[in-house]
């Protein structure tokens, strides 16, 4: 795979159409902050087309087909609550969720074709809490799990998923729990929503040892958080040889985030980007937006993360 651009970003205007009630932290303005951060890091925007049939086929590798149907029908009666109190929906929530998947699929396509060293998926709503048959935690479709399945369908080889969102990615872990073709690493605040992600959760069946959780106490700063990421990356490389890397890039561990309760700085996210850039070697890396709810901190954190990632790729 020959890279012709160092850093691309995928985005689609429909991702702004998910509009929870006023004051909800997962608001459309997040996407604008992320795109500003990515642009200031030198990312080039890649056009995304939403092919609903292709999106639904990809969704059904991870989710029950009824989930998409139920969400589409529920949006016809919006505003409403979908599956749990965490998931208020608007008339455009289904459109936004399908656009987010399309952004992820476009990123996979660009990475596999060798059009970029790294691709950042600037999409919302986020995805890593979404379960096979149920939405939860602001998430409807599990974008990063869908991207992993797309990579595997293209015979790329073993995939590593690194999740540094402040919340444990329970949906992603559940999907790959008994798999040895995907290594799932999560560094997160614990105990915290959604409740899982203990250190002894390491996978089951043939997937035993392919899940690794680093639960961290409230207030973890750059040293603690990046140290856990570094230790997790070392375990991935000792266990398997990923041919592609996916990142659940949540920035709600930032010390200014209103929800996360952690102490990571802009420089901490830059360090995480640099570590990922070193670990992935020549393999493609796709980072998919998850959380991050302070707009200014989100803008700065995305920029710092992508600069760290790009500088490592250039070295």
Q: Specify the range with the lowest mean pLDDT, choosing from 2-6, 43-47, 185-189, 223-227.
A: 2-6
Residue 71 lies in a domain: yes
Q: What is the CATH number of the domain that holds 205?
A: 3.40.800.20
Angle at 27 between CA 273 and CA 66, to 5 degrees: 90
Tens digit of pLDDT for each residue in 19-69? 999 999 999 999 999 999 999 999 999 999 999 999 999 999 999 999 999
CB 85 within 8 A of CB 73: no
Q: pLDDT at position 315, please?
A: 53
Q: pLDDT at position 312, please?
A: 76
* Residue of 63, 128, 129, 167 marked catalytic: 129
Q: Is 102 exposed, middle or buried (0-12, 13-18, 19+ CB in 10 A)?
A: buried
Catalytic site residue 129? Answer: yes
Whole-structure pTM value: 0.97
Structure token pair of residue 205: 């069946």
Confidence band for 311, pLDDT divided at 50, 70 and 90 = confident
Tens digit of pLDDT for each residue in 90-99? 999 999 999 9
Residue 1 lies in a domain: no
Q: pLDDT at position 4, please?
A: 46
Tens digit of pLDDT for each residue in 117-154? 899 999 999 999 999 999 999 999 999 999 999 999 99
Alpha-carbon span 54 to 287, nearest angstrom: 21
Cis peptide before 125 (omega within 30 of 0): yes
Structural domain harbouring 292: 7-314
Alpha-carbon span 196 to 173, nearest angstrom: 10
Q: How many domains are contained in the chain?
A: 1
Task: Give yes or no for residue 278 having a pLDDT over 50.
Answer: yes
Residue 296 lies in a domain: yes
Describe the crossing of helices 65-75 and 52-59 by its angle, rounded to 10 degrees. 130
Q: pLDDT at position 6, please?
A: 83
CB 104 within 8 A of CB 144: yes
Task: Give yes or no for residue 73 having a pLDDT over 70.
Answer: yes
Task: Give yes or no for residue 2 having a pLDDT over 50.
Answer: no
Residue 270 lies in a domain: yes
Confidence band for 3, pLDDT divided at 50, 70 and 90 = very low
Residue 2 lies in a domain: no
Alpha-carbon span 250 to 95, nearest angstrom: 22
Mean pLDDT across the chain, nearest whole number?
96
For residues 86, 56, 252, 261, the Cα torsion angle rounded to the nearest 10 degrees is 40
CB 19 within 8 A of CB 35: no
- Average pLDDT score over residue span 241-269: 98
Residue 278 lies in a domain: yes
């Amino acid at each position: 795979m020959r890279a012709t651009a160092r850093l691309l970003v995928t985005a689609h205007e429909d991702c702004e159409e998910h509009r929870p009630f006023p004051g909800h932290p997962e608001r459309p303005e997040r996407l604008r902050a992320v795109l500003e951060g990515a642009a200031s890091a030198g990312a080039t925007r890649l056009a995304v087309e939403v092919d609903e049939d292709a999106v639904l086929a990809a969704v059904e590798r991870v989710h029950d087909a009824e989930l998409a149907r139920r969400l589409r029908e529920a949006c016809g009666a919006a505003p409403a609550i979908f599956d749990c109190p965490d998931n208020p929906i608007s008339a455009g929530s289904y459109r936004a969720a399908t656009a987010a998947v399309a952004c992820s699929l476009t990123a996979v396509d660009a990475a596999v074709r060798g059009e970029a060293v790294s691709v950042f998926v600037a999409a919302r709503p986020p995805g890593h809490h979404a379960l096979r048959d149920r939405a939860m935690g602001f998430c409807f479709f599990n974008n990063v799990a869908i991207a992993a399945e797309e990579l595997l369908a293209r015979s790329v080889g073993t995939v590593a998923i690194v999740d540094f969102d402040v919340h444990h990615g329970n949906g992603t872990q559940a999907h790959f729990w008994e798999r040895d073709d995907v290594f799932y690493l999560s560094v997160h605040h614990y105990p915290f929503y959604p409740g899982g992600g203990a250190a002894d959760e390491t996978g089951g069946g043939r997937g035993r040892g392919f899940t690794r959780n680093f639960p961290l106490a409230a207030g973890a700063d750059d040293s603690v958080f990046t140290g856990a990421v570094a230790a997790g990356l070392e375990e991935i490389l000792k266990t398997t040889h990923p041919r592609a890397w996916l990142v659940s890039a949540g920035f709600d561990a930032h010390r200014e985030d209103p929800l996360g309760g952690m102490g990571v700085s802009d420089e901490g996210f830059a360090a995480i980007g640099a570590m990922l850039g070193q670990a992935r070697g020549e393999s493609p890396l796709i980072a998919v937006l998850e959380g991050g709810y302070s707009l200014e901190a989100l803008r700065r954190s995305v920029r710092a993360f992508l600069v760290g990632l790009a500088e490592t790729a250039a070295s």
